[in-house]
Amino acid sequence: MDYRQQNPVPVPAKGPFQRVRATMDAVYDWQYALEDQKLLTLYEKGKKLGWNATDLDWSTHVDADRLGADENIADFFNSVLDPPRRFTKEVGLQYHVHMNSFMLSQFLHGEQGALVAAAKVVETVPWAEAKLYAANQVADEARHVEVYHRYLTEKLGISYEVHPSLSALLEDITEDSRWDVTYLGMQIMVEGLALAAFGMMKLVMSEEPLIQDITSRIMADEARHVGFGVLSLQKVYTSEMSSKELAEREEFVIESTHLLHDRLLPIPVFERLGWDVKTYGEWARHTPFHKAFRQMMFSKIVPNLKSLGLLTPRVREAMQSLDLLKFENEKNSVESPEVLPPAELVQLLVTRLQAPAAE
C-alpha cells in the first residue's frame, strides 16, 4: 500500500476527524447454530472472491483532464442535459471531470461509512453466521476505501469532501443503537444506492480502463453486501417486530430516501466551478436527465424494501411522490445480484440524442 497523493481529499468544515457517539450492546452467540445456509453461502462466496488492491494495474495512465471524454463532449451535454448556458468544449470537459470526481469522492466517503457500519454489525448482530459474513465485509470495505482513495489522490488529483447529506445519514446510521437499523441504513439504503450509481459510473467513464476494473470488482462485492442485508432482515421485519417498531423503521426509510434523493445534489461542483448555485441547483433538481438519474439510483432499493415488507402504505406514499414505485416489481438483490445498465436512463439518452435528427 504505497502510493503518492497528488492532492489530499478536502477536509470538511467540522475538521479532519468526526466523533459520533455510538451507544450499542455487543452480543455474543454462544450456540454457534450456523443454521442460515444462505448467509453461510454468501460468506463462502465472499472468501473465494476476495481480491487485493495490488491486483489492479496502477500503471494505467489516467488522463485527469478528460477522463475518457471525447471531442464531442459539449454537443453531448448540450443535447442531453440542456444546461442553463450552453457548454463549450472546455466547460463540458470541466463538468465531466468534476462530476465524476465528485461521485467518486462520495463513493470513498460512503465506503468509510460502510467500513464503520460493518464493524458495528460484527459486534451487535445476534447470529454467528451473520458475524462471520460481516467480518468478511469489513475487509471488503477497507479495500474499497484504499482503492478509491488511491485513485482520487494519485491518479486524479481532484476530490471533494463528504456531502452534508451523506454525512448526516452516515451519522444517523452510526449513532443508532439498533443493529437492524445499521443494516437497513447501510446495506439496503446507502449500498443499494451505490450499486446503481456504480452502474452509471461504468457508462460515463467507459473509456477509462482502471476505473472500469475498480468499479466491476467493487460492484461484485457490494452486490453480495446488499444481498446479505436482505437475507438478514427479511425474517426480522416480516415476523418478529411490533407495529410500533416497524413504524420507526418506516420513518427511517422515508427520511433516508429524502436525504439521498432530494438533497444529494452536486452543489459543491457548481461552487468550485464558480457557477451560480441557485440557477444550476434548480437545473440539477428539475431537468429530465438529472431527475431520471436520481430515480434510477433507487432501482435496487425499492424492490429490496418490498422483499423486507417495508414497502408499507406510508413508505409507498413517499416513494410514489418521487415516482420511485416503478421499480417495485424488479428483482431484489438476492434474486438478481447483478446491476444491469439503467435501461430507462439509456432510453432517455437515446431519445434526446436522436431528437435533433428527427426535426
The dihedrals phi and psi of 22, each to the nearest 5 degrees, come to -115, 100
End-to-end CA distance of the chain: 55
* DSSP type of residue 175: H
* Residues 134, 73: Cα–Cα separation, whole Å: 42
The per-residue pLDDT for range 253-272, each reduced to its tens digit, is 999 999 888 888 999 999 99
Amino acid at site 66: R
Q: What is the pLDDT of residue 132?
A: 95
Q: Which residues have C-beta within 8 Å of that of residue 189, sequence separation ≥ 6?
A: 169, 253, 256, 257, 260, 301
The dihedrals phi and psi of 167, each to the nearest 5 degrees, come to -60, -45
Q: Closest by alpha carbon to 156, among 86, 92, 62? A: 62
Residue 232 has pLDDT above 90, yes or no: no
Q: Closest by alpha carbon to 96, among 18, 176, 192, 205? A: 205
The domains located in the chain, with CATH, are 37-47+72-358 (1.20.1260)
Q: What is the pLDDT of residue 354?
A: 56
Q: Which residues have C-beta within 8 Å of that of residue 33, sequence separation ≥ 6?
A: 127, 128
Q: Which residues have C-beta within 8 Å of that of residue 48, sequence separation ≥ 6?
A: none
Residue 341 has pLDDT above 80, yes or no: no
Decide if 212 contacts 56 (C-beta within 8 A). no
Q: What is the pLDDT of residue 358?
A: 39
* Residues 271, 217: Cα–Cα separation, whole Å: 32
Using alpha carbons, list the distances in angstroms from residue 201 to 86, 107, 261, 263, 284. 24, 11, 18, 20, 18
Decide if 169 contacts 189 (C-beta within 8 A). yes
Overall size of the chain counted in residues: 359
What average pLDDT does the chain have? 89
pTM score of the predicted model: 0.90
Q: Closest by alpha carbon to 334, among 310, 303, 309, 296? A: 303
The per-residue pLDDT for range 76-118, each reduced to its tens digit, is 899 888 999 999 999 999 999 999 999 999 999 999 999 999 9
Q: Which residues have C-beta within 8 Å of that of residue 204, sequence separation ≥ 6?
A: 96, 100
The per-residue pLDDT for range 2-21, each reduced to its tens digit, is 777 777 898 888 888 888 88
